[in-house]
């Protein structure tokens, strides 16, 4: 927000934050779906590797972990991107609250 706060600039800023919130919410929905799909793929491939590998349970588990490590990394990275998106959404909401508080102060100042 600028140093010369006017009702018009506050409205413009709050409208921009509102649009950004809408866009970020849609982005998070897409990120969440990507994460869920990657996680399901990883679990399916891990299970396939585990079930088709001969040997003891430890050998089967370690083999499955080794053979699906790239998929697991994709899941972890998607989860990190999702967390970052959610944090960005939280920051936008905080900015909106600050703008609302400034709006109340501005109304008080204009009514004085």
Q: Write down the pLDDT at residue 37.
A: 98
**Residue appearing with tokens 């089967």:** 60
pTM for this structure?
Answer: 0.82
Name residues whose C-beta falls within 8 Å of residue 45's C-beta, 6 or more positions apart in sequence: 67, 68, 71
2 has a pLDDT exceeding 50 = no
Residue 98 located in a structural domain: yes
Residue 2 lies inside a defined structural domain of this protein? no
Domain span including residue 25: 7-106
Please say whether the beta carbons of 81 and 24 come within 8 A: no
Judge whether 34 lies within some domain: yes
User: Residue 67 domain-assigned?
Assistant: yes
Each residue's pLDDT tens digit, 52-103: 999 999 999 999 999 999 999 999 999 999 999 999 999 999 999 998 888 8
Count of structural domains, the chain = 1
Query: Is residue 112 in some structural domain?
Result: no
Q: Assess if residue 1 is contained within a domain.
A: no
Instruction: Tell me, yes or no, whether 94 lies in a domain.
Output: yes
Report if residue 12 sits inside a domain: yes
């Amino acid at each position: 927000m600028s140093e010369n706060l006017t009702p018009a600039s506050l409205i413009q800023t709050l409208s921009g934050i509102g649009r950004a919130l809408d866009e970020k919410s849609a982005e998070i929905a897409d990120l969440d779906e990507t994460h869920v799909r990657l996680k399901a793929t990883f679990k399916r491939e891990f299970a396939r590797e585990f079930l088709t590998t001969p040997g003891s349970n430890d050998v089967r588990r370690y083999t499955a972990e080794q053979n699906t490590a790239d998929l697991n990394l994709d899941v972890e990275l998607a989860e990190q991107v999702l967390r970052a998106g959610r944090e960005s959404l939280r920051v936008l909401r905080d900015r909106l609250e600050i703008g609302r508080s400034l709006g109340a102060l501005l109304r008080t100042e204009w009514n004085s």
